[in-house]
Structure 1
């Protein structure tokens, strides 16, 4: 049975002094607000980003808003699988208390784009990149007393299904559907990781979180990371009845990292219809209940990346 959630103040999360947390895509969007909120707890927050300049800009904003914030940057390209092997050494830490798998690519229009390794860009970045990264980070996570892998899913995945005969949309590419399936793959992998960690008796827990409906127009300004004009705020105001800003979209992830009551295999999201509000424990979505699909996806991901978060690295990725 899931544990009973404790009272939680989104504006005053518990202290996490001495902990080290990596947030992929921590330079912008929801990832930035996850990092900013974690920085208020005394944790050392590492902003993983493809762009050193954008990461440094985000670091400066956090340090300006959070006195004494411990924030570092790390160049990280999830689409470049071989480069991810170097991340543990680049972190320069003997342990990692949490990694938030947040970064992602979303394409709205054709044509279909591939990574240098020939993977569809969204599947290759959002899912395979995070899968491989988690594999390489697992020794550092296992060195922490009770580390967490927090996978950021998407409401878009709730009504999708995986086509394991065509996981990279080679035959039938629809950008929005490919994005939703890449996020569904991430979430399946997060749950399968927790099952494997539990079977191995690991102290690492794998948790899912999603931001609900998080809009730029409802997000407070953080120039130059995020700018919002009065006109943008006014136009977005009606949506606040159902949706929220990215600062609030970060709340479930922050709770998944820090709340001692959180357990592996759980899904955390916004309280109101899964779209807005303070974080709550959600029932697992129907699209995430097929463990056979998750196991098949795991084997495919292991073969494509050469990494296995459940057991460690392999030698010959395909």
Structure 2
């Protein structure tokens, strides 16, 4: 199955502009590559300009006539986000894919320049604050989408609203899962608030299922799959997939006019692999009281007031 097979039956996107955070590597790169095949202008948001330019060059080499460029975007530095959004230099934005993420495997606990735990601060608070800056551009588009890349790592976690920064008990994998859960709660709460004010913008959740490097086609120098990695990953291919396929739910959520705000999209086969489909929102994400408290805490921690969402 080719990396563009999920987009072949989806509408063309000439004249539309999409921002992918963390679009220089991993799933974000393939989201950007696939959206480029639909004719859109794709902007790669990355904290590493050199890697972003390499990724943009890779997309141009694979996609004839690709309209792709990069902007400096550091979600771990909240004071930089306004400048990053200005550098988009567009009058409207048709979609943003909140994909960028930090995942640490080992202690010690690290912090952003703003003093927030690095994974929670980047993955959740950075995207929360970025959304406020992007809202005027999204509202200026006919029917913009905010697509949040969730993770299975969030499915077995619960937020500790009294210790969102993991100060008391820091376990990297759990803190990562909770940062993704916070993102997903935010995506749903954002859509509820957008609907309440009659906004044209929709907020959608997606997740990539199980996406392994060893099952991902090479895109040198962005990603090089060794023969050893491919062979080691082959037995897992019955259950999981590569990052090119992990990108499909996000691409669908951006392009498919039938997708609605507040939905969750993931892979069809056991939610782990295959073409994207809508799936029920996970039970623990339905707790709106948790989402509301997280929203208020996020406003306090970022100094951002997303309460006045433009319609």
Query: Shared topology, TM-score over 0.5?
Result: yes
Among candidates 128, 133, 144, match of residue 131 of structure 1: 128
CA distance in 1, matches of 2:158, 2:211: 23
Is 1:119–2:116 an aligned residue pair? yes
User: Could you say which residue in structure 2 is the equivalent of 1:56?
Assistant: 53
By how many angstroms is 1:126 displaced?
Answer: 0.1
**SS of aligned partner of 1:78:** coil
TM-score, normalization: structure 1?
0.94
User: Could you say which residue in structure 1 is the equivalent of 2:62?
Assistant: 65
By how many angstroms is 1:83 displaced?
Answer: 0.3
Q: Structure 1 residues 184 and 130, CA, compared in 2 at 3 Å: closer, same or farther?
A: same
Q: Is the 8 A contact 2:194 2:309 kept in 1?
A: no
By how many angstroms is 1:312 displaced?
Answer: 5.3
CA distance in 2, matches of 1:183, 1:99: 17
Deviates more, 1:87-96 or 1:122-131: 87-96
**SS of aligned partner of 2:237:** helix
**Structural RMSD (CA):** 1.2
Among candidates 253, 259, 266, match of residue 250 of structure 2: 253
By how many angstroms is 1:48 displaced?
Answer: 0.3
* Post-superposition CA distance 1:214-241 (Å, at most 9, x none): 0000000000000011221111100101
**SS of aligned partner of 2:198:** coil
User: Could you say which residue in structure 2 is the equivalent of 1:5?
Assistant: none
By how many angstroms is 1:117 displaced?
Answer: 1.1
CA distance in 1, matches of 2:244, 2:287: 32
Give 5+ residue unaligned stretches, structure 1: 1-7, 314-318
Is 1:300–2:303 an aligned residue pair? no
CA distance in 2, matches of 1:42, 1:124: 33
**SS of aligned partner of 1:83:** helix
CA distance in 2, matches of 1:87, 1:222: 27
Give 5+ residue unaligned stretches, structure 2: none
Q: Is the 8 A contact 1:138 1:309 kept in 2?
A: no
CA distance in 2, matches of 1:43, 1:142: 18
Is 1:162–2:145 an aligned residue pair? no
User: Could you say which residue in structure 1 is the equivalent of 2:263?
Assistant: 266
Is 1:106–2:103 an aligned residue pair? yes
CA distance in 2, matches of 1:56, 1:85: 21
User: Could you say which residue in structure 1 is the equivalent of 2:197?
Assistant: 200
CA distance in 1, matches of 2:275, 2:291: 29
* Post-superposition CA distance 1:264-300 (Å, at most 9, x none): 0000000011111100000010120100000000011
CA distance in 2, matches of 1:64, 1:215: 24
Q: Which runs of 4+ in 1 moved over 6 A?
A: none
Query: How many residues matched?
Result: 306
Q: Is the 8 A contact 2:150 2:206 kept in 1?
A: yes
By how many angstroms is 1:156 displaced?
Answer: 0.8
User: Could you say which residue in structure 1 is the equivalent of 2:230?
Assistant: 233
By how many angstroms is 1:97 displaced?
Answer: 0.3
Q: Is the 8 A contact 1:159 1:287 kept in 2?
A: no
Q: Structure 1 residues 146 and 87, CA, compared in 2 at 3 Å: closer, same or farther?
A: same
* Post-superposition CA distance 1:86-123 (Å, at most 9, x none): 22211000000000000000000001001111100000
